[in-house]
Structure 1
Amino acid sequence: MSVQEQTEPHGWRVFHGTGSAPATPPDMPQPPPWRRFRGGPPRPVPPADPEAARRRLGSGDISPRLREEDVDIINAALLLRRPLLITGPPGVGKSALAYLVSRELGLGRVLEWNIVSRTELRDGLYAHDAMGRAQAIAAWRAALRRGAAAHSDEAEEAHTPNTGINTAVDSNPRQHPPVIGDFITLGPLGTALLPYDRPRVLLVDELDKSDIDLPNDLLHVLENGSYGVPELVRDAAETARVQTDDPGSIAEIRDGRVECREFPVVVITSNGEREFPAAFRRRCLPLEMRTPTRDQLLAMVEGHLGIRPQGTEDLVDEFVQRVQAGGTHSLDQLLNAVQMTTAGGFQAHDDGRTLVEMLLRDLAKGR
């Protein structure tokens, strides 16, 4: 970043909230000395997943405008290499923000870690198929025994008359045993911490639904940008090739440890169902997303549908009134209502009004 850019208003920003994919991905700001990591060798970031981005952001070019203070917080997280902890009611676009950042900065496919009450830290780091490995080793040993028996029979034939019958050997006794790396798959968090030459975007969705210990368990990994795979540490081989969370992608791990090169852009979402420990919050930058305004909702509908169908304004106004009345509503409900009521032949009045009421129902009432 040049001195001139630093002195210009907002010249320090690399993310502007436009939602537009760049022709050339911008350079990321240099991290502070205490957030530099030495992982290697560098790996290229895989390409984006356009279909996943389309589902989250819509197919149009219109994206909701973030508040200026929101854009500043996001850029501060990018500069300081700290996770974003995004709170707000359901359906306001918390998880979509990860895709917005990835698309605008050209950071490739977003890695998603969806949290449930049973989720543990290891689920995000890696999975070891111990049962599959045990079965593969058993099959390998059985093949060795069959090969040894076949060679024994061949040795006996060498001392008996030729009967014209060939003894078949159904396996090679010198085949290598199954390697442990074939049975390890890195999770979204474990993949994000590989030594990429540009940061990956990791979405940790609905962390407030986790077990009470998970936020604390995350502290060490988020602070150090590294982790170990005990199964590989105990293995005799110095390197192992394992599968990653990216389809068809393989990573090489040395000495059973992974360390990032560029700390990932970590977007953690919460619906506010619980408080997080102070030590965890200290390592994150908080961002509270509010219910979109009328203009933002219209832009979102147009972005997802590609057009603004007739009657959209009336539905958006009704949606805003329901939210202002204290109801709990999601953007998905509005999109469903617009899609349904603007479909050919559907009548939104009389009997059709019942369906509209169902689509726009208050989610806080449980039905």
Structure 2
Amino acid sequence: MAHDTAGREAAHSWRVFHGTGVLPAGGPADIPGPPPWREFSGEPLQPTPPEDDRTALRRLGGSEVARPNLRDEEIDTVNAALVLRRPLLVTGPPGVGKSTLAYLAARELGLGRVLQWSIVSRTTLRDGLYEYDSIGRAQAIAAWRAGGPTEPGGAAPEQPPYLGDFITLGPLGTALLGYARPRVLLIDELDKSDIDLPNDLLHVLENGSYDVPELIRGALTTASVFTDDPDRHAEIVGGRVECREFPLVVITSNGEREFPAAFRRRCLPLEMLPPSREQLLAIVASHLRRRPEGVSALVDDFERRVRDGGTQSVDQLLNAVQLTTAGGFQRDDDGRKLIEMLLRDLAKGR
């Protein structure tokens, strides 16, 4: 038995991510250097990104509870993406924990706030890279030329409005800044995008860089712009952004469409399966900070529905557990109807 344990530890010794979602007591693990073909040299070096403990706690639950939510194959694929500096294309049914994976990695590896880019049918590549407020700048320039204040109650400025004040980097644009350690970028539900977005995204992720034409035309050697991190700025040199450490990119898909072969070839595929009973119990205990009475029966009911071909989300189970363990809840006819509504089959559209 000891020999088997030692063998497993040796086989997993290359891992820096273990799927716990808990920052080790000795600090985050060192991430191996990139392969030569994925080396970048973005400048200038940006400050350490902020933490977002509140969001991580909301998404992951209490850090004091171990969460065996990932299989060995899934953990290995995440580690491969970290080592090879390649995006992860995560597929699986709704509610299986695809987006949660980004938060697990960010907290365990101490990589700061997760940059989240939620995709809709109208999303373009530029939405993820940066936003330029051309109307706001035009109004500010007009007010400056007229000799009035650019803001109500303010004094008239001596210099024209600063171009960088009207540029805000998006989640993708922020992730590709020059950080000493990789940022975590969650591109959520890419399968909802316009047909061209995956190919447009492919080139940026392959090159690890992009240009901000407005800054290039503005002939600013260095510009300070807003980032997707609250109250943070970044310095951009020559209107070009290049990463130093390629981010851990987690791209989720519900399998509603196929992606181009060139896009899939550059991503590492990770298919997440519905959690086991043990994993469901751990998720409930993690989010509720305890294991309530009666939770086993609800988990069994949830598993039965999934086995019977239903489309259920783990969020539904958490809602049912929270409601039924609240003080005064009655499991009478009305109570059973309410549980039935909470655990309904999402594929049926009601």
Cα deviation digits, residues 318-357 of structure 1 (max 9, x gap): 0000000000000110000000111100112322111010
Structure 1: gaps of 5 or more residues? 1-6, 146-169
Instruction: Give the equivalent residue in structure 2 for 1:79.
Output: 83
Instruction: Give the equivalent residue in structure 1 for 2:113.
Output: 109
- After superposition, where does 1:72-151 map in structure 2 within 5 Å? 72-143=76-147
Cα deviation digits, residues 129-164 of structure 1 (max 9, x gap): 11110110011011179xxxxxxxxxxxxxxxxxxx
Offset at 1:16? 1.1
Rg larger in structure: 1
**Contact 1:143–1:172 (CA under 8 A) maintained in structure 2:** no
Offset at 1:269? 0.3
TM-score, length of structure 2 as denominator length: 0.93
User: d(CA) in 2 for partners of 1:144 and 1:105?
Assistant: 50
Instruction: Give the equivalent residue in structure 1 for 2:228.
Output: 245
Find 1:18's aligned residue among 11, 20, 41.
Answer: 20
Cα deviation digits, residues 55-89 of structure 1 (max 9, x gap): 11012423133111111111110000000000000
Give the letter for the 1:335 counterpart. L
Instruction: Give the equivalent residue in structure 1 for 2:261.
Output: 278
Question: Residue 8 of structure 1 aligns to a residue in which SS?
Answer: helix
User: d(CA) in 2 for partners of 1:328 and 1:120?
Assistant: 30
Question: Residue 248 of structure 1 aligns to a residue in which SS?
Answer: coil
Matched, 1:357 2:334: no
Offset at 1:180? 1.1
Offset at 1:9? 2.0
Cα deviation digits, residues 183-207 of structure 1 (max 9, x gap): 0000000000000000000000000
User: d(CA) in 1 for partners of 2:133 and 2:170?
Assistant: 13
Question: Residue 293 of structure 2 aligns to a residue in which SS?
Answer: coil
Instruction: Give the equivalent residue in structure 2 for 1:267.
Output: 250
Instruction: Give the equivalent residue in structure 2 for 1:314.
Output: 297
Instruction: Give the equivalent residue in structure 2 for 1:180.
Output: 163
**Contact 2:22–2:63 (CA under 8 A) maintained in structure 1:** no
User: d(CA) in 2 for partners of 1:60 and 1:302?
Assistant: 11
Give the letter for the 1:260 counterpart. C
Question: Residue 48 of structure 1 aligns to a residue in which SS?
Answer: coil
**Contact 1:22–1:106 (CA under 8 A) maintained in structure 2:** no
Offset at 1:43? 1.7
Compare 23-32 and 170-179 and name the one that shifted more.
170-179
User: d(CA) in 1 for partners of 2:247 and 2:154?
Assistant: 46
**Contact 1:45–1:200 (CA under 8 A) maintained in structure 2:** no
Question: Residue 143 of structure 1 aligns to a residue in which SS?
Answer: coil
Offset at 1:174? 7.2
Question: Residue 147 of structure 2 aligns to a residue in which SS?
Answer: helix
What percent of counterpart residues are identical?
71
Give the letter for the 2:327 counterpart. G
Cα deviation digits, residues 7-43 of structure 1 (max 9, x gap): 9322211111122112312111111000000112222
Structure 2: gaps of 5 or more residues? 1-8
Offset at 1:119? 0.3
Give the letter for the 2:208 counterpart. G
Give the letter for the 1:318 counterpart. D
- After superposition, where does 1:153-172 map in structure 2 within 5 Å? none
Find 1:29's aligned residue among 29, 32, 37.
Answer: 32
Give the letter for the 1:263 counterpart. F
